[in-house]
Amino acid sequence: MNRSNGGGSRIGQYIIPIIIIAVLFGLSFLTRTGTSMRPSYIVVLFVSILNYIVLAVSWNIFSGPSGYIALSTAAFFGLGIYVSALFGESLPLPVLMILAGAISFVIAAIIGVITLRLRGVYFTIFTFGLVLLLQYLILWYEVKFNNLRGRTVASVPYNTVFLSLLVLVGIVLLAAYFVRKSRFGMALSGIGECEDAAAHVGVNTTMVKVIAFAATSFAIGAAGAAKATTMIYIDPPIAFNVMMSFMPVLMVIFGGAGTFLGPIIGAIAFTILQEQLTTKWPKWYMIIFGTVMIISIVFLPKGLVGTIGEMKSMQKKIALLGITAGFMLIGFGFTQILEAAGVSIGGLVFPLLFGIAGFVIFANVFKRHKGKEAA
């Protein structure tokens, strides 16, 4: 927050955006692991991961600093799904995503103007109610006027969905990164830390909240439109699944609310966990998932990234070791997933790649949080 002696050089602030773009560009080559008719499992998995990254990072852009816990993710995600269901036959995916985003933006802006004067838990309850409202409204409309319950969605090749989401993730991540450093980001944190004080130093709190809420809803709606094309059949309970409101929140809490890396790490970890659990122990999935959630909140109340910031230097070294090992395990898991899908990429390639990536990323996180300890 302290601009005078934080931050680093002007060039320094572009390193992370460049890394983001490079990584996403690298990931785009994954489309070559399968054909558009028969996508590889890794692309299918990445569609889920990228989708959750959009939701978690978007949620964190608004709710992280402002402290307004929005549970409306499923509402705008569902709107996006319905846009694809209605217009998927006639419009290409990028247009569908922009249309879904625009509709979500407008509705979020209207809702925001009405409800963002609500503070604390009332805002949360209203946004959650919005999910159910839209779900039952659309169900009622479809049954009454169209005499149908669900709809089929025109499918789009997985590779196209993957690439579209990759672009969306890129936009969302760059937005998240630059908003944090911007005047707008400072206004949002000011609102979260003391809304009265923010208003009395000239922050137009209503406008900042509405813009942030609507803009992040744009991304959520667009993600819904993309994900819908992989769903084949949808009906209101599927489209407006309340779990989609809670999952991003859990991912962000797990990774570290209000941090840049936290939501990304949370989204990746939880998507893989969810994928593994639903395939291997479908009956036990919810139980294990919930337990992991509770344990992580009890022991890491500030999330993975936030907790690291508070550690002492010896603890940090041990944690870094543990994290690297954890990343290597994820790498092993990845290899197994790929093998199960019939793609064999040599035994140690992924564990080493993941381990190195984890080490580099977190060594950087440790270094960044050093200053706080001294203060």
Residues at the site binding other proteins, with contacts judged by CB under 8 A: 1-5, 183, 186-187, 189-190, 192-194, 196-206, 375
Residue pair 119/263 in contact (Cβ under 8 Å)? The answer is no
CB of 183 to other proteins, least distance (A): 6
Q: How far is the CB of 206 from other proteins (least distance, A)?
A: 8
**Cα–Cα distance, 161 to 359 (Å, whole number):** 30
**Distance of closest approach, residue 199 Cβ to other proteins, in angstroms:** 4
Which C-beta is closer to other proteins: that of 1 or that of 314?
1
- Taking the complex as a whole, the smallest distance from the CB of residue 211 to other proteins amounts, in Å, to 14
Three-state DSSP at 242 gives coil
Q: Which regions of 210-297 does DSSP assign to beta strands (E)?
A: 233-234
**Contact between residue 249 and residue 265 where contact means Cβ atoms under 8 Å apart:** no
Contact, 77 vs 100, CB < 8 A? no
Which amino acid is residue 56, in one-letter code?
A: A
- Shortest spacing between CB 201 and other proteins, in angstroms: 4
The answer to whether 355 and 324 have CB atoms below 8 angstroms apart is yes
Task: Name the minimum Å distance from CB 214 to other proteins.
Answer: 19
**Beta carbon nearer to other proteins, 3 or 38:** 3
Q: At closest approach, how far in Å is the CB of 200 from other proteins?
A: 5
- If the CB atoms of residues 147 and 196 are measured against other proteins, the closer one turns out to be 196
* Minimum CB distance to other proteins, residue 256 (Å): 14
| Nearest alpha carbon to residue 278 among 265, 289, 266 | 289
Structure tokens at 256: 């570290």
CA distance 136 to 100: 19
Instruction: Let me know how long the chain is.
Output: 375
| Strand, helix or coil for residue 177 | helix
Looking at the DSSP bridge assignments, the partners of residue 233 are 152
* Cβ closest to other proteins, residue 156 vs residue 203: 203
**Residue closer to other proteins (CB basis): 306 or 358:** 306
- Please give the single-letter amino acid code of residue 331: G
Cα 33 from chain centroid (whole Å): 25
Q: Compute the distance between CA of residue 302 and CA of residue 63 in angstroms, rounded to an integer.
A: 15
Closest to other proteins by CB, 3 or 283: 3
Q: Which is nearer to other proteins, 181 or 326 (CB)?
A: 181
The least CB distance from residue 254 to other proteins, in Å, is: 21
Q: Among residues 26 and 202, whose Cβ is nearest to other proteins?
A: 202
Q: How far is the CB of 5 from other proteins (least distance, A)?
A: 7
Alpha carbon distance 101, 107 (integer Å)? 10
Give yes or no for a contact between 97 and 225, defined as CB atoms under 8 angstroms apart.
Answer: yes
Whichever of 2 and 344 has its CB closer to other proteins, that residue is 2
Residue 62 or 105: which CB sits closer to other proteins? 62
- What the block records as the tokens of 148 is 């149908």
DSSP labels for 113-159? Answer: HHHTTS-THHHHHHHHHHHHHHHHHHHHHIIIII--S-EE-----HH
Compute how many other C-beta atoms are within 10 angstroms of the C-beta atom of residue 28. 14
CB atoms within 10 A of CB 363: 14
